[in-house]
Structure 1
Amino acid sequence: MISALASADAQIWLAILVKTVAYLATLVAAGSVVIYLTLGALTEQGRSSLRRIAAVAALAAAGLSLLRIPLRASFLMGGTVEGAVDPMMLRIVAESPLGASVIVRLGGLALILAVFLPGRGARWVALAGALVTCASFALRGHTLGEPRLLLGALVTVHAIGLAFWIGAFAPLTRAVRCDPPAVAGALVHEFGAKALWVVATLVAAGALTLVLLGAATPAALATPYGQAFLIKLGLFAGVLALAGLNKTRLTPALQAAAPDAARRLRRSIGMESVLVLAVLATTAALTTLTSPPSEQARSASQTTPTHDSAIHVSGDLSWPS
């Protein structure tokens, strides 16, 4: 994995960067809506801030998702600028799984904007948009293998859980910085209680996905894909460690209005957000540079490529959503 990154050209690095930021903006948009509807301890100021965050993130995610289409077209044309604007190549990409994923994601992001509309019905429309947005991740990449429906469902559940976690960072930080300790403490406590279920779901979905992709064996973990997965696992373990510290020590200290509790909790949440960003970047690199063992075995069974054609096969596998 490290050697692949070291030898990657500028286009691959650009793909990883765009994909990372697109992941982040998409999950923030969806997660802001989920947090808006699930955390009852949010103040009206917190809800207003979340609506703005959801809108800005949705617009950013839409632009970044659309950008991936000309980037893919350019890749197919050897990394040329002409390829990025070639009508035929753009049509090919738009009709590919990547194009389908982007179209569904744009629809979900548009529905998220209903969070600004009055009425309870508008909130459910926004929630539907958040779920559709998360489901768009299941239309591309390794979920196209079998069992397709189960893999798609697992990826969707995983995206929803991650969106919940990422969507909470901004409102929790705002509450700890601006609200009285009792109010902020109640919000952080509520998030921590619900996050326990989210963590359990994330772990279960991730473990089952790993098994289905054939990446749960010692031999598979020695591959570049397995190594990248272990990096992700280590980063996520760091997130969980910080979350445990927040729940058992820093949140009770904030609720008790202990000196310096708010500052320490803000710092811990900031460290969590950095680790989660690293998880997203690792995921972007992993899906750009390698593929699960099950996909590699399937490709090998279908054809025995020459050196040149192997490059093209690897490149095609390097652009999941």
Structure 2
Amino acid sequence: MLAALASADAVTWISILVKTLAYAATLVAAGSVLVWLALRELSADGRASLLRMAVVAALAAAVLSVLRVPLRASFLMGGTFDGAVDPMMLGIVFDSPLGTSVTVRLIGLALILAIVLPLRGARWIALTGALMACASFALRGHALGEPRLLLGALVTAHIVGLAFWLGAFAPMSRAARTEAPPIAAALVHEFGTKALWVVSALVAAGAVTLVLLGAADPAALTTPYGQAFLVKLALFAGVLGLAALNKVRLTPALQSAATGAAQRLRRSIAAESVLILAILATTAALTTVTSLPSEQARVAPQQPKTVQAVAHASGDFPWLS
């Protein structure tokens, strides 16, 4: 994958950046809703701040998701600006799984905005939107393989868990900065208790997905996809290590109002955020410049190299493989 990135053009790098930011903004928007509904220890100010974050993140995610369409069209036209505005290429992208994914995501993000409206049942509308935004990740790429329904459910469960985790960082960091230690500690403790179930779901869903995709074979670790997966695994191990530190040492220190406990917790949360952003960036690069070995094997060797490159790099045009 490093060789592919080294030779990548500007459009590829911009695509990776936009995809990374779209991932992050979508997860924060959906996660903010999940956290707002799930964590009872949020203060009134914390809830109001979380609602604002959900709205800002949803709007940013919508813009970034829409940008992915002309960028993909440009990629298909060899990285030219003409491709980004060519009606035929834009139509092809809209008709692809990427277009379906973006459409569903935009609907979900719009429903998330209902959380700030004075409507009865607005929270459940927003929850539906958060789940749709998470499910949009399962409408393209590897989740289109077989068994498609199971893969889609596993990918969605994985994304929901990651969204909840990422969505909790800002309110916990804010609480550590502005709330009294007992209030902040109660929130962090509640998240830590529920995060145990989230971690279990993430690990289980990820493991089953890898087996179904054929990426659990040790031989696959020698491929660019496998090497990128090892990078993601190392980063996730770092996240789990920091989470364990938060639960075992930093949360008890905050509960006892130890000097500097809040600052240490905020630094740990910031480090977790950086590691998760690195995971998202690795995923964006991985899905842009390479693919699963099993998917590469399905691309007919007699096809032109340009067709193979599109099938491998995008995961958006399964009929080419």
**Same fold by TM-score greater than 0.5:** yes
Q: Is the 8 A contact 1:141 1:317 kept in 2?
A: no
Which structure 2 residues correspond to residues 15-164 of structure 1 after superposition, within 5 A?
15-119=15-119, 121-164=121-164
* 1:253 alignment partner AA: A
**Could you tell me which residue of structure 1 aligns to residue 251 of structure 2?**
251
Distance 2:101 2:26 in 1: 12
Asked if 1:310 is matched to 2:305, the reply is: yes
The two structures have a TM-score, normalised by structure 1, of 0.96
Q: Is the 8 A contact 1:32 1:53 kept in 2?
A: yes
Q: Is the 8 A contact 2:287 2:314 kept in 1?
A: yes
Q: Is the 8 A contact 1:28 1:163 kept in 2?
A: yes
Distance 2:89 2:127 in 1: 34
Aligned residue for 2:314, secondary structure, equals coil
What per-residue deviation string (whole Å, max 9, x for no partner) do you get for residues 257-295 of structure 1? 000100100000000000000000000011111111221
**Could you tell me which residue of structure 2 aligns to residue 172 of structure 1?**
172
**CA deviation after TM superposition for structure 1 residue 218, in Å:** 1.2
Q: Which moved more, 1:174-183 or 1:84-93?
A: 84-93
**Could you tell me which residue of structure 2 aligns to residue 205 of structure 1?**
205
What per-residue deviation string (whole Å, max 9, x for no partner) do you get for residues 193-218 of structure 1? 00000000000000011111111111
Distance 1:314 1:78 in 2: 11
Aligned residue for 2:118, secondary structure, equals coil
Distance 2:96 2:136 in 1: 13
Distance 1:41 1:318 in 2: 44
What per-residue deviation string (whole Å, max 9, x for no partner) do you get for residues 24-75 of structure 1? 0000000000000000000010010011100000011000110011111111
Q: Is the 8 A contact 1:154 1:205 kept in 2?
A: yes
Q: Is the 8 A contact 2:291 2:313 kept in 1?
A: yes
Percent pairwise identity: 71
* 1:159 alignment partner AA: I
Q: Which moved more, 1:7-16 or 1:17-26?
A: 7-16
> Where do 5+ consecutive residues of structure 1 fail to align?
none
Aligned residue for 2:257, secondary structure, equals coil
Q: Is the 8 A contact 2:296 2:312 kept in 1?
A: no
Distance 1:92 1:260 in 2: 55
> Where do 5+ consecutive residues of structure 2 fail to align?
317-321
Q: Which moved more, 1:116-125 or 1:264-273?
A: 116-125
* 2:71 alignment partner AA: L
What per-residue deviation string (whole Å, max 9, x for no partner) do you get for residues 198-255 of structure 1? 0000000000111111111110011100000000000000000000000000000001
Off by >6 Å, runs of 4+ in structure 1: none
Distance 1:204 1:163 in 2: 16
Aligned residue for 2:230, secondary structure, equals helix
**Could you tell me which residue of structure 1 aligns to residue 319 of structure 2?**
none
Q: Which moved more, 1:84-93 or 1:227-236?
A: 84-93
**Could you tell me which residue of structure 2 aligns to residue 181 of structure 1?**
181
Which structure 2 residues correspond to residues 260-271 of structure 1 after superposition, within 5 A?
260-271=260-271
CA RMSD of aligned residues (A): 1.1
* 2:223 alignment partner AA: T
* Matched positions, count: 316
Distance 1:244 1:213 in 2: 30
Distance 1:168 1:15 in 2: 27
**CA deviation after TM superposition for structure 1 residue 79, in Å:** 1.3
Distance 1:282 1:153 in 2: 22
**Could you tell me which residue of structure 2 aligns to residue 291 of structure 1?**
291
Aligned residue for 1:318, secondary structure, equals helix
* 1:57 alignment partner AA: A
Q: Is the 8 A contact 1:213 1:293 kept in 2?
A: no
Aligned residue for 2:121, secondary structure, equals helix
